[in-house]
Amino acid sequence: MSTVLVFLEAKSGVPTRISLEAFAAAAQLAASSGAQLAAAMVGSASGPGFALLGGASQIFALEHLLLEHYTADGYTAAYAQLIARVQPDYVLFPHTYEVRDFAPRLATRLGRVLISDVTGFQASAGQILFMRQLFQGKLNGHYHAASPAPCLISVQAGAFRADAPAATSVPAATFAPELEASAIRTQPGEPFRAAAQTVDLASAPLLVSVGRGIKDEANIPLVQELATALGAELAASRPICDAGWLPMERQVGSSGQTVAPKLYLAVGISGAIQHLVGMKGSQCVVAINKDENAPIFEIADYGIVGDLFEVVPALTAAVRKAKG
Amino acid sequence: MKIIVAIKQVPERDARIRIDSAGKWIALEDIEFRMNESDAYALEEALLLREAHGGEVVVLSAGPERVGQTIREALAKGADRGIHIVSDALSGYDALGVASLMAAAIRDEAADLILTGLQSDDLGLGQTGVILAELLGICHASLILKIEKSDSGIRVLRELEDGWFQHIDMSTPALLTIQSGNTKLRYATLMGIKKAKTKDLRVVEAAALGVSATPCVLLDSVALPSRQKTTQMLTGTPAEAAAKLVEKLQQEVRVL
Ligand SMILES: Cc1cc2nc3c(=O)[nH]c(=O)nc-3n(C[C@H](O)[C@H](O)[C@H](O)COP(=O)(O)OP(=O)(O)OC[C@H]3O[C@@H](n4cnc5c(N)ncnc54)[C@H](O)[C@@H]3O)c2cc1C
Ligand SMILES: Cc1cc2nc3c(=O)[nH]c(=O)nc-3n(C[C@H](O)[C@H](O)[C@H](O)COP(=O)(O)OP(=O)(O)OC[C@H]3O[C@@H](n4cnc5c(N)ncnc54)[C@H](O)[C@@H]3O)c2cc1C
């Protein structure tokens, strides 16, 4: 019987949310191709995370001193050995910063190419088509694997719904890869955070968020006035913070804050996935953008297609008037 | 230090995207091209390292003849020389194929450091650099913001999720994929543009590199995304659209 093997990441011993989404994607893929589901995670087989993988008929706990801290060399070697043992048809990963880092290397070692950041799949004429976004979400592409098994896939955060964890029905087996300390060529340091936060965007009920459409630092007051009129905090997309026009603590997205306000008003933001993951839990999304095909409109409740330099001042005036 | 920077030429960010008649790719006729954003940051890091420690910066790009312009732009900004892998048929290669072409073209250069962008703005696989590292048998780190020389090699600053960072110490030769945004990009000076014309540009035919173009993964078709939510578009003059939105914010979203 063929196998779909999914790799999970754990934090404090428990699979992360995106890992459980990848697990759900793997379960769907296994069901649609009549395969069995196998899951693997770094850690000790007796750890609590391994008890929540109901549905998997094989579970592997990858255990080795050299896997305690993530390194591309260590993970690539360990996973290559497990893949050689399991001989899966499909290998799934959550599309995380770690997976971005080592999975292309692993695929290359197997003579394959990872189909990265997949948002969905469908069976079509005896093969499986995988969807992923191109041009930062402005286009979708359908891919299929043209090489023999295994086919490697990483899935985008939020693309699959994680099921409620169910109790595991088979015991996790320890898989101890053969690793040499000398083969690990990088020495990772302890993770750290940048400067302390002084604004708490996550608790702000209203956010006005500004993107590269604002063009110049000198135009920031335009959106600041709108935020003030609404009683909202000001947030931004990454390029605005990279440029130093607003401090990094106001950045929303995968490398910034995750927010879920009552109102998220996106001004001149295109809606790249790394931005969307930080704000798509908002109750109401309003987008102002001059491009009617901007991906932000795909998740907006209300949209205004137009030049922000005309729309924003008009909106500020209308809000002031409404507030009296 | 000898540093190679891989640069991809991609459609301009605000380019209007239309699907070609075969439904397999975008129509390229009216498109303007530019240097991929994260590659521009990779080039900047390389130039800063050379300014601090000496050495040579070589830019590498695969693509059709028009890619030569982007290489010249990098030379104008200060790169010392260029390598152009010429091919009109890169759509027949997957990321492993393109990385194999690059590996074949630079293996003999024996660079200390290879920098690529994190991810291209068009196909966006975010893999070519890491694949190239594996093909060349050298170590790598991805999502890098800063590079410093250390006693044993280099120390790099890596971005992690949710605003976290990490330093990584590594030996050279190494490959790093560079994240956008950490420094200010320089502009090419008039002098730089003039000098670029005389700088060495090695042109290699892809077909001469002995790389098979049999892809492992195929892009079958492309399509414009469909809306997940039903967005209510508020139309009219700016003042009219603004008034409609305020009404929605008062009566439906209830935040005013
Ligand atoms: C690993 C990684 C992590 C990342 N993390 C983050 C993150 O945490 N947060 C984040 O935001 N990004 C992040 N990014 C970057 C992300 O991919 C996008 O590049 C970024 O979000 C784009 O920002 P933007 O929408 O402001 O700019 P652009 O994509 O350039 O969009 C500008 C928009 O403004 C519109 N516009 C232009 N002029 C006008 C006008 N006059 N009136 C109205 N509209 C106008 C345009 O139509 C366009 O849609 C990350 C990327 C990577 C690879
Ligand atoms: C329809 C179609 C069209 C294609 N068009 C192109 C094309 O125009 N150009 C092309 O190169 N390939 C093209 N390909 C081939 C191939 O699939 C990928 O473009 C290539 O493998 C790079 O993947 P990516 O764009 O996702 O880059 P990523 O893996 O996201 O790129 C990461 C980094 O690798 C480096 N890099 C990537 N490609 C190049 C390059 N060509 N030269 C120098 N450095 C590079 C850059 O530093 C870049 O930032 C096409 C494929 C298809 C199916």
**Residue labelled with tokens 């990490």:** B166
Confidence of residue B132 (pLDDT cuts 50, 70, 90): very high
Burial annotation A149-188 (CB, 10 A radius, 16+ → b, else e) = ebbbbbbbbbbbebeebeebeeebeebebebeeeebbbeb
State yes or no: pLDDT of A158 exceeds 90. Answer: yes
* Ligand 1, pocket residues at CB < 6 Å: A 136, 211-213, 237-239, 251-256, 268-270, 272, 274-275, 278, 289-291, 294, 307-309; B 13, 118-119
Whether residue A222 is found in the same domain as residue A293: yes
Residue of A129, A186, A258 with shortest CB distance to B170: A186
Distance B19 CA to ligand 2 centre (A): 18
Nearest residue (CA) to ligand 2, atom 21: B95
Domain boundary pick from A130, A153, A183: A183
Q: Output the pLDDT for position A124.
A: 84
Q: Is residue B220 part of a domain?
A: no
Whether residue A116 is found in the same domain as residue A26: yes
Asked if A104 lies within 8 A of B246 by C-beta distance, the reply is: no
Asked if B220 lies within 8 A of A297 by C-beta distance, the reply is: no
Residue B78 backbone zone (phi > 0: left; psi -120 to 50: alpha; other: beta):
left
Q: Compute the C-alpha angle B225/B226/B227, nearest 5°.
A: 120
Q: Output the pLDDT for position B159.
A: 95
Whether residue B127 is found in the same domain as residue B251: no
Confidence of residue A126 (pLDDT cuts 50, 70, 90): confident
State yes or no: pLDDT of B15 exceeds 90. Answer: no
Residue of B31, B100, B217 for testing the chain A interface, max A β-carbons within 10 Å: B217
Whether residue B82 is found in the same domain as residue B121: yes
Domain boundary pick from A120, A155, A183: A183
Asked if the C-beta of B256 comes within 8 angstroms of chain A's C-beta atoms, the answer is: yes
What CATH number has the domain bearing residue A138?
A: 3.40.50.620
pLDDT in tens, A232-266: 999 999 999 999 999 999 999 999 999 999 999 99
Whether residue B167 is found in the same domain as residue B243: no
DSSP three-state, residue B68: helix
3-state helix, strand, coil in chain B (%, to 5): 30, 30, 40
Distance B55 CA to ligand 1 centre (A): 35
Asked if the C-beta of B123 comes within 8 angstroms of chain A's C-beta atoms, the answer is: yes
State yes or no: pLDDT of A196 exceeds 80. Answer: no
Whether residue B203 is found in the same domain as residue B243: no
List CB contacts (< 8 A) between A147 and chain B: 216-217
Q: Is B100 in the pocket of ligand 2 (CB under 6 A)?
A: no
Q: Is residue B67 part of a domain?
A: yes
Mean pLDDT, residues B34-41 taken together: 98
Q: Is residue B181 part of a domain?
A: yes
Whether residue A206 is found in the same domain as residue A263: yes
Q: Output the pLDDT for position A84.
A: 98
Asked if the C-beta of B185 comes within 8 angstroms of chain A's C-beta atoms, the answer is: no
- Residue of A248, A275, A279, A280 with the most ligand 1 atoms within 8 Å of its CB, for mutation: A275
Whether residue B115 is found in the same domain as residue B230: no
Q: Is residue A143 part of a domain?
A: yes
* A189: number of Cβ within 10 Å: 14
Query: Which structure tokens are listed for A64?
Result: 């080795």
Mean pLDDT, residues A58-82 taken together: 98
Distance A212 CA to ligand 1 centre (A): 6
Report which of A262, A260, A263, A292 is spatially closest to residue A276, judged by C-alpha positions: A260
Number of domains in chain A: 2
Which H or E run includes B202?
Answer: strand B201-205
Asked if the C-beta of B130 comes within 8 angstroms of chain A's C-beta atoms, the answer is: yes
Whether residue A148 is found in the same domain as residue A208: no
State yes or no: pLDDT of A318 exceeds 90. Answer: yes
Whether residue B249 is found in the same domain as residue B140: no
Asked if A138 lies within 8 A of B163 by C-beta distance, the reply is: no
Mean pLDDT, residues A4-8 taken together: 98
Q: Output the pLDDT for position B219.
A: 96
Mean pLDDT, residues A168-172 taken together: 93
Q: Is residue A193 part of a domain?
A: no
Whether residue B117 is found in the same domain as residue B79: yes
Whether residue A179 is found in the same domain as residue A205: no
Helix axes A72-86, A97-109, angle to 10 degrees: 60
Q: Is residue B32 packed enough to be buried (19+ CB in 10 Å), middle (13-18) or exposed (0-12)?
A: exposed
Number of domains in chain B: 2
State yes or no: pLDDT of B136 exceeds 90. Answer: yes
CA distance A169 to chain B (A): 32
Q: Is residue A194 part of a domain?
A: no
Q: Output the pLDDT for position A303.
A: 97
Mean pLDDT, residues B187-205 taken together: 97
Nearest CA in chain A to B14: A291
State yes or no: pLDDT of B121 exceeds 90. Answer: yes
Q: Output the pLDDT for position B158.
A: 97
What CATH number has the domain bearing residue B74?
A: 3.40.50.620
List CB contacts (< 8 A) between B160 and chain A: 97, 191
Whether residue B147 is found in the same domain as residue B250: no
Whether residue A250 is found in the same domain as residue A316: yes
Our measurement of the distance from residue B44's CA atom to the centroid of its chain's CA atoms, rounded to an integer in Å, reads: 13
Asked if the C-beta of B27 comes within 8 angstroms of chain A's C-beta atoms, the answer is: no
Q: Is residue A191 part of a domain?
A: no
Report which of B222, B23, B217, B220 is spatially closest to residue A134, judged by C-alpha positions: B222
Asked if B241 lies within 8 A of A111 by C-beta distance, the reply is: no
Distances (CA, A) of B191 to A159, B81, B143: 49, 16, 33
Q: Is residue B51 part of a domain?
A: yes
Q: Output the pLDDT for position A170.
A: 95
Q: Is residue A190 part of a domain?
A: no
Q: Output the pLDDT for position A125.
A: 81
Mean pLDDT, residues A179-199 taken together: 90
Asked if the C-beta of B26 comes within 8 angstroms of chain A's C-beta atoms, the answer is: yes
Q: Output the pLDDT for position B205.
A: 97
Q: Is residue A252 part of a domain?
A: yes
Distance B242 CA to ligand 1 centre (A): 23
Distance B236 CA to ligand 1 centre (A): 26
State yes or no: pLDDT of A195 exceeds 80. Answer: no
Whether residue A59 is found in the same domain as residue A126: yes
Termini Cα distance of chain B: 60
Asked if the C-beta of B140 comes within 8 angstroms of chain A's C-beta atoms, the answer is: yes
Q: Output the pLDDT for position B109.
A: 97
Residue of A107, A305, A315 with shortest CB distance to B245: A315
State yes or no: pLDDT of B222 exceeds 80. Answer: yes
Q: Output the pLDDT for position A139.
A: 95
pLDDT in tens, A15-69: 999 999 999 999 999 999 899 999 999 999 999 999 989 999 999 999 999 999 9
Which H or E run includes B99?
Answer: helix B95-106
Whether residue A124 is found in the same domain as residue A261: no
pLDDT in tens, B74-97: 999 999 999 999 999 999 999 999
Query: Which structure tokens are listed for A11?
Result: 């934090």
Pairing of strands B174-178, B232-233: unpaired
List CB contacts (< 8 A) between A16 and chain B: none
Range of the domain at A22: 3-183
Whether residue B151 is found in the same domain as residue B247: no
Residue of A95, A113, A142, A264 for testing the chain B interface, max B β-carbons within 10 Å: A113
State yes or no: pLDDT of A324 exceeds 90. Answer: no
Q: Output the pLDDT for position B48.
A: 98
DSSP three-state, residue B134: helix
Asked if B225 lies within 8 A of A72 by C-beta distance, the reply is: no
ipTM above 0.85, yes or no: yes
Q: Output the pLDDT for position B79.
A: 98
Whether residue A170 is found in the same domain as residue A290: no
Whether residue B67 is found in the same domain as residue B126: yes
Confidence of residue B237 (pLDDT cuts 50, 70, 90): very high
Cα–Cα distance for residue pair A26/A150, rounded to 1 Å:
14
> Percent of chain A having pLDDT more than 70?
100
Residue B36 alpha carbon, nearest atom of ligand 2: 49
Q: Output the pLDDT for position A66.
A: 98
Cα–Cα distance for residue pair A14/A8, rounded to 1 Å:
9
Domain boundary pick from A183, A211, A239: A183
CA distance A37 to chain B (A): 23
Chain B residues 78-97 within an 8 A CB cutoff of chain A: 94-96
Higher pLDDT, A126 or B36: B36
Whether residue B126 is found in the same domain as residue B230: no
Q: Is residue B196 part of a domain?
A: yes
State yes or no: pLDDT of B229 exceeds 80. Answer: no
CA distance B198 to chain A (A): 33
What CATH number has the domain bearing residue A273?
A: 3.40.50.1220
Whether residue A170 is found in the same domain as residue A232: no
Q: Is the CB of residue A238 less than 8 Å from the CB of residue A274? A: yes
Whether residue A169 is found in the same domain as residue A213: no
Whether residue A259 is found in the same domain as residue A130: no
Q: Is residue A270 part of a domain?
A: yes
List, in sequence order, the alpha helices (H) in chain A: 17-32, 72-86, 97-109, 220-230, 238-242, 273-276, 308-323
Q: Output the pLDDT for position B39.
A: 98
Q: Is residue B103 part of a domain?
A: yes
Q: Is residue A244 part of a domain?
A: yes
Task: Please give the DSSP secondary-structure letter assigned to residue A245.
Answer: S
Average of per-residue pLDDT values in chain B:
96
Range of the domain at B143: 2-209
